[in-house]
Amino acid sequence: MEQIIIEVDEATAKKWQEVSPEVKRDLEKNFQTFIDKISNETTIAHFDALLDKASTEAARNGLTEEILQQLLNEE
């Protein structure tokens, strides 16, 4: 397990020191889940943007859905 540092205000830091180990474990797990979700959403958004860019560029170069289907059917 790795440790990270997150800056919070003084009141939050004090509350953190007072919560039970069980609550800390639950919060740590929720934080991990949240970070995983954000990372996955960012990756998907980046991939979607890349696909949109490729589609736009292909259309600019004259590649239509019909031409693509013909090319795929040739093989």
Q: Is the predicted pLDDT of residue 37 greater than 90, yes or no? A: yes
Give me Rg for the CA atoms of the chain. Answer: 24
Q: Is the predicted pLDDT of residue 55 greater than 80, yes or no? A: yes
Helices (H), the chain: 10-18, 21-60, 65-74
Note if the pTM is more than 0.85: no
For residues 26-42, average pLDDT: 94
35 to 5, 31, 43: CA distances (angstroms): 14, 6, 12
Q: Is the predicted pLDDT of residue 2 greater than 80, yes or no? A: yes
Lowest mean pLDDT among 16-20, 48-52, 67-71: 67-71
The pLDDT of residue 28 is 93
Average pLDDT of the chain to the nearest whole number: 92
Would you tell me how many other CB atoms lie within 10 Å of the CB of residue 11? 8
